[in-house]
Amino acid sequence: MFSASKIKAVDFYRKIPRDLTEASLSGAGLSIVAALSMMFLFGMELNNYFAVSTTTSVIVDKSSDGDFLRIDFNMSFPALSCEFASVDLNDVLGTNRLNITKTIRKFSIDSNLRPTGSEFHSGTIANAVKHDDEVDEEFVEGALPLTSHSFDKFIQQFPITVVNFYAPWCSWCQRLKPSWEKAAKIMRERYDPEMDGRILLAKVDCTKESDLCRRHHIQGYPSIRIFRKGSDVRSDHGHHEHESYYGDRDTESLVKTMESLVASLPTGSQHLALEDKSNGTENVKRPAPSTGGCRIEGYVRVKKVPGSLVISARSDAHSFDASQMNMSHVVDHLTFGKKVMPRALSDVKHWIPYIGRNHDRLNGRSFINTRDFEGNVTIDHYIQVVKTEVVTRKGYTLIEEYEYTAHSNVAHSINIPVARFHLELSPMQVLITENQKSFSHFITNICAIIGGVFTVAGILDSILHNTMRAMKKVELGKNF
């Protein structure tokens, strides 16, 4: 049996009798300072325990979105017509998608990037436009040449005027010329401009009448425009509603189309009805672009390999003058991957300030060719994309975003100028993981704070007390 005296012998905290202890002002002051220090350090430790800390690592990208990456964009091209604007994709694996339309929308804009109408619909264009098989070298020119001075006069004179805007060097224009002249001669014989006056076929050489072609936003050759005269339209703004023709270019098809246009006119009147009742040309006529610019928006999905997103002028039946093409543009929006909600991004930024700084790096930037480089100017953007993923302590993915760097360059090109976005997708990703904090570690730190402050305060009190006693003894020795 252990007696009480033996048990007391192992007491680590032996007490000094109260009548042997003495309170002092210095001890009281140190006690107050020690208590305040304990409270301050306890608050800091508690704040650190509840604060979020992260660990950043670089690992191989094992994305849940598979082998494809979505690119959302909204870009404005003040000098590229929606009539020919094309979005293309290609990559190192051989993917080559031309003129993507399923997920792309186009809107006509003016030179100040203001929208000028509803969505522009490209419609269905045949892959191969038919031309005359045999070319008669002795054909008689039947189309009336128009100039800047005579254009408005004849447009206002005839209910329907069909104009071929061409360039002599254009191969497509050269193939169209025989059938166009034949069709014009046939229509002139059937509907004499002086006796009948219901329709006129004309032509404009855009190399000589560049201002006239620019006024009608001609960017591809040949461009066939159908001008309709209507008193109501003329009284509003002095111009005529007009359409573009995209059908076959052989003589028979042209004559058939012109006949359907004449048939749409009211009997006994030279004014055009408000609605075109012809069904034969609905699939080859569409409203002509009212302005020369285009805003392109939508999304595409690309493989996670090096490739390019290219925006250019494209057509299987038109030629383009590279020296006159201007691919200046404004990037309103360009992001990669799933859309990150602003609120979620804002919440994460409280504990990861650098997150989300580069996921929209090109947004709002303008890339304008001021013609200082003359023509044939291609604008290249070199983009390197890296995935960043933020994971909570429980393994839940809080944010999954793609950030990128971008370097742009303006260069001369021997081909048709384009706006090209070179894509380099990193096989690695940045993983930001929230650290798990131990409660036992927190308690240990609290005990260390209390014990440490108490011990340090005790040492200081002992030093101060002994110093004051020594000073008193010195004073007594001097007095006695």
3-state SS class at 353: coil
3-state SS class at 159: coil
The 10 Å Cβ neighbour count of residue 449 is 18
Length of the chain: 480
For residue 252, the one-letter residue type is E
8-state DSSP, 135? -
Number of H helices, E strands in the chain: 9, 19
The 10 Å Cβ neighbour count of residue 10 is 7
Q: How far is it, in rounded angstroms, from Cα 31 to Cα 46?
A: 22
- Nearest 5 degrees, angle CA 352-CA 354-CA 357? 130
> Which of 170, 206, 213, 294 is the catalytic position?
170
Burial grade of 143 (CB within 10 A; 0-12, 13-18, 19 or more)? buried
Peptide linkage before 168 cis (omega within 30 of 0) = no
Q: How far is it, in rounded angstroms, from Cα 384 to Cα 377?
A: 23
CB 91 within 8 A of CB 300: no
**Alpha helices, H only, 100-229:** 151-157, 171-190, 210-215
294 catalytic residue (yes or no): no
447 catalytic residue (yes or no): no
Question: Residue 465 to residues 86, 459, 473: CA-CA distances in angstroms?
Answer: 89, 10, 13
> Which of 173, 206, 213, 294 is the catalytic position?
173
Q: Phi/psi at 251 (nearest 5 deg)?
A: -60, -45
CB 88 within 8 A of CB 300: no
Within 354-447, strands assigned E span 365-367, 377-391, 397-412, 419-434
Burial grade of 155 (CB within 10 A; 0-12, 13-18, 19 or more)? buried
Residues marked active site are found at 170, 173
